[in-house]
Amino acid sequence: MTSALNARNIVAAIAAAGLLLLPLYSALSGNIFILTLFTRIVIFALAAASLNLMMGYGGMMSFGHAAYLGIGGYAVGILAAEGIGSGFIQWPVALIVSALFALVIGALSLRTRGVYFIMITLAFAQMAYYIASGMSRYGGDDGLTIYKRSDFGGLINLSNRVQFYYLCLGCLFGGLYLIWRIVNSRFGMVVRGVRSNEQRMQAIGFHANRYRLVCFVIAGTICGLAGALLANNTDFVSPAVMYWTRSGDLMVMVILGGMGSLFGPVIGAIVYLVLEELLSRFTEYWALIMGPLLLLIVLFARGGIMGLLGRMRRG
């Protein structure tokens, strides 16, 4: 980590450059599909990065992180359905509602540790799922179609593929920068310290749970932003985005890319979603291949892909 020029940073830089130049490639090759795919990837990368803040740096294994994707999405969808199309209203509402939800869930969940924490976050996300399913006014089980994407006046046109892609990418890079600053700040040091040895942190004078809770809320809020983006991307939001398998997908992206590595979740999201795309072309049982692959990563590359690259450097 001391030298800037190691395998990890090189891979991260190449991936970042690739993401930046992707619309150019898409335009030159006429491959529109790849832009659609990568818009999705970038959004999930942001969600995974927020989970990484909590899981990788904070040591909080949330199995309900997809709830915030849904909450952010529904905030946009419901406001749109009620005739409020301005993104200047929709997005702040999405963030605030996600933060409040995280505050309540976090305050209750953080009374527990380990498996119980995983279970209680899962339970809350499933509750959100069933509540969304029950909202018959907003499509219930079938979900809610969003007829018009968030309107930011003349500032940016979300219906333009390239503009929307760059908006998502801007949110991702902005989110990563924010997380990087947080992780190295006083606050971040405390949260990472608590992950490392909670008893020790209490003994030197930190009220561990207070810091954990704030970290939980920040992570939930960032994921809510990803939810708002996702709803705009699909022009649709349904309870399915909150289902526990979605939370599992996010976890897999984080673990695959490398927990506690800033850029890991981005790599994880790219690898996971591209593989899913490619494998599902060959067989509908693509999970049959993805599963063992994951096992291999977990067994032999602790620290995920980024961890593997880190070890390569040391030889």
Partner 1 sequence: MADPLLRVQHLVRRFGGITATDNLSLDVMPGELHAIIGPNGAGKTTLISQLTGQLMPNSGAIHFAGRDVTRQPAYKRSRLGLARSFQITSLLPDFSAIDNVALAAQAHDGHSFRFWGSARKEKHLRDAARSALKRVGLEARAEVPVLELSHGEQRELELAVALATKPQLLLLDEPMAGLGVTESARMVGLLKELRKEVTIVLVEHDMEAVFALADRITVLVYGRVIACDSPDAIRNNEEVKRAYLGDQHVVVGHV
Q: How far is the CB of 69 from partner 1 (least distance, A)?
A: 23
Which lies closer to partner 1 via its Cβ, residue 77 or residue 260? 260
Q: Which residue from 44, 68, 211, 263 is in contact with partner 1, where contact means CB under 8 A?
A: 211
* Amino acid in the structure at residue 211: Y
- Does 208 bind partner 1 (CB under 8 A)? Our answer is yes
- Does 204 bind partner 1 (CB under 8 A)? Our answer is yes
Which lies closer to partner 1 via its Cβ, residue 31 or residue 184? 184
Q: Which residue from 200, 285, 292, 298 is in contact with partner 1, where contact means CB under 8 A?
A: 200
Which lies closer to partner 1 via its Cβ, residue 140 or residue 193? 193
Q: How far is the CB of 109 from partner 1 (least distance, A)?
A: 19
CA distances from 72 to 102, 121, 195, 196, 242 (A): 12, 17, 28, 31, 11
Which lies closer to partner 1 via its Cβ, residue 22 or residue 194? 194
- Token readout for 269 is 């999201």
* Amino acid in the structure at residue 190: V
* Amino acid in the structure at residue 89: I
Q: How many of the other CB atoms lie within 10 Å of CB of 179?
A: 22
311 burial (CB, 10 Å; 0-12 / 13-18 / 19+) is middle
- Does 202 bind partner 1 (CB under 8 A)? Our answer is yes
- Does 115 bind partner 1 (CB under 8 A)? Our answer is no
Task: Report, in angstroms and rounded to the nearest whole number, the Rg of the chain calculated over CA atoms.
Answer: 19
What is the C-alpha separation between 212 and 220, in angstroms, rounded? Answer: 12
Q: How far is the CB of 264 from partner 1 (least distance, A)?
A: 16
Q: How far is the CB of 296 from partner 1 (least distance, A)?
A: 25
* Amino acid in the structure at residue 101: F
300 burial (CB, 10 Å; 0-12 / 13-18 / 19+) is exposed
Q: Which residue from 205, 284, 300, 315 is in contact with partner 1, where contact means CB under 8 A?
A: 205
SS3 296: helix
Using CB under 8 A as the binding rule, the residues of this chain from 129 to 188 that contact partner 1 are 181-182, 184-188
- Token readout for 182 is 């947080």
Q: How many of the other CB atoms lie within 10 Å of CB of 90?
A: 26
Q: How far is the CB of 203 from partner 1 (least distance, A)?
A: 6
Using CB under 8 A as the binding rule, the residues of this chain from 178 to 197 that contact partner 1 are 181-182, 184-190, 192-193, 196-197
Which lies closer to partner 1 via its Cβ, residue 188 or residue 239? 188
Binding site for partner 1 (CB under 8 A): 181-182, 184-190, 192-193, 196-197, 199-208, 211, 214
